Structure 1
Amino acid sequence: MESLEKEAAATLIVGVSGDLIEVARALGRNGEKIGLVSKNSDLLYRYKDRLEEYGVGCSAFVADVTDSQSVLNMLTKFSAWSPRLDRLIYNVGVMSNERAGQVSEGELATAMSANFYGFVNCFQLVQTMFSRLGRGHAVVMSSAAALSPDEHPVANSTSKASLRIFIKALRKELDSKEIIISEVFLGSMRTSAGQRELTCEEIVHGLMHVLREQPDEYLIGQSEIHT
């Protein structure tokens, strides 16, 4: 553990997006290393190049996180690049969109892969790295619609509900360890003209708060659904 404390802190982002790149940029300013994961290699390397232009130490890993062997290969490469891992950010929205064209109400398995199995595969392996460090923080991002029992399609809502149940069970299992799981829900903003989507700045501000405070659940913006 002492040797790992001498290593630079590192974050692994699964499901890259513009707002998370800004979060990565903020973390990188403090000397943190950033690992980016996606099966969309073109987008992945575009974001990697952008972070390197900002002076952030980063590496890109092409992987299908719904495939456990692909995740194992990715984590093996990541640990060779950075023996230390402080946090995992798993973007459910991006992972769902990567398979959006394949999802229908009759294809529960496809949605389960994107929303549920991807996180399970990643967490099972990063938990080992967290344990070696003696602490860790996993952040799971999804739309505030995940809080709604009326979300459609059925396959998508069922898989997200399963993910929430799994996370609650994990928290009980990890209760005696310094490993925290935060669920972040992206809502909208109410204005005089009606509801609008969150801006990148609002999402980044909310996520940085979550990384500092490590709450179990946090809603960025507003939602009509109350938990």
Structure 2
Amino acid sequence: MEVGSGTRALVTGASSGIGRALAHTLAARGARVGLAARSAPELERLAAELPGLAGGHHALPCDVSERSQVEAAVERFVAATGGIDLVVANAGIAHYGPFRELSPERIEQMTAVNWLGTVWTVRAALEPMVAAGRGHVVIVSSGAGQRAFPDAAVYGATKAAQRAFGEALRHELAGTGVSLTVAFPGEIATALHDHEKARMPAWYRGDARAASPDALADAILAAVAADRRTVAFPRLVGLLGVANGISPRFADAILRRLRGPSAAPRRD
């Protein structure tokens, strides 16, 4: 599906990071963008600054972990635009640290936002898409969904859940006119970890060497246009996923070489 003038696209987690970059890229291509996140003031400011006709973009404040709020946001967008052509389930949060030290509240929050937030977003958007016989779903997982890392066990689990969900759902949608792509970003220059920078693990490289969210947005929309199953960005993320699928021990050896022993401390 080519994104262009008239495309109706809804993005969750739109107020910052990857979601914000996607919103700008979509608007620059002529799309009418639905902006979903928790902060209404931030969404209103973003809607006003995006290129396109005044009033063409829609702030849809909601908490994706609450099913009723997501359903209401999708309904508002469809009512305002007449339908939905593209939905990007991007909202996510991260809390790193040893599993035994994570509070139950943080475990539940990541599960509710990253995993259930994806399910509720896709579930709400699919109904009008399937009814129209066209559309595309993007699920923004993570490189951690292909190979999880120490100190990110719960985060990686939520991202792997997204991957498995997308793999199966793409097949279920065969013949409906709706397709699906799962994105696997690596370390992207966003504010995802701003609240925990002081305790990030040694293998983490999400500083000045992180990839551009704008380049990721372009890669995602190129994958949508080509109807690709997956898109990994940067390319090394995809190669790591292949290596881990062939031999986790081999992938561990690569990671120890690239990121040091903290990325794979066990050698069995």
TM over 0.5: yes
Report the 3-state secondary structure (helix = DSSP H, G, I; strand = E; otherwise coil) of the residue aligned with 1:60: strand
Structure 2 partner of 1:162? 161
Amino acid at match of 1:184: A
Structure 1 partner of 2:125? 126
Q: Point out where structure 1 has 5 or more consecutive residues left out of the alignment.
A: 1-6, 190-194
Shift, 1:29, TM fit: 4.3
Residue 18 to residue 163, structure 1, CA distance change in 2 (3 Å): closer
Structure 2 partner of 1:218? 231
Q: Which structure's CA Rg is the greater one?
A: 2
Q: Which residues in structure 2 correspond to 1:187-202 (within 5 Å)? A: 187=186, 196-202=209-215
Q: Which residues in structure 2 correspond to 1:117-156 (within 5 Å)? A: 117-156=116-155
Residue 167 to residue 19, structure 1, CA distance change in 2 (3 Å): closer
Q: Which residues in structure 2 correspond to 1:15-164 (within 5 Å)? A: 15-16=13-14, 17-51=16-50, 54-56=51-53, 57-92=56-91, 95-96=92-93, 104=102, 106-107=104-105, 108-164=107-163
Distance 2:221 2:162 in 1: 23
TM score, norm. by length of structure 1: 0.80
* Percent of pairs with identical residues: 22
Distance 2:173 2:145 in 1: 23
Contact kept, 8 Å, 2:142 with 2:159, in 1: the verdict is no
Shift, 1:24, TM fit: 3.3
Residue deviations 1:144-170, cap 9 Å, x none?
222213353322222222222222221
Residue 151 to residue 123, structure 1, CA distance change in 2 (3 Å): farther
Residue deviations 1:191-212, cap 9 Å, x none?
xxxx921124422331231231
Among residues 11, 16, 25, which one is paired with 1:13 in the alignment?
11
Q: Point out where structure 2 has 5 or more consecutive residues left out of the alignment.
A: 189-207, 243-268
Distance 1:152 1:35 in 2: 34
Distance 2:170 2:139 in 1: 13
Shift, 1:130, TM fit: 0.6
Amino acid at match of 2:222: H
Amino acid at match of 2:129: F
TM score, norm. by length of structure 2: 0.69
Report the 3-state secondary structure (helix = DSSP H, G, I; strand = E; otherwise coil) of the residue aligned with 1:96: coil
Contact kept, 8 Å, 1:140 with 1:183, in 2: the verdict is yes
Residue 218 to residue 149, structure 1, CA distance change in 2 (3 Å): same
Structure 2 partner of 1:4? none
**Alignment length (residue pairs):** 210
Distance 2:148 2:20 in 1: 31
Report the 3-state secondary structure (helix = DSSP H, G, I; strand = E; otherwise coil) of the residue aligned with 2:52: coil
Higher share of residues assigned strand: 1
Amino acid at match of 2:52: G
Amino acid at match of 2:240: I
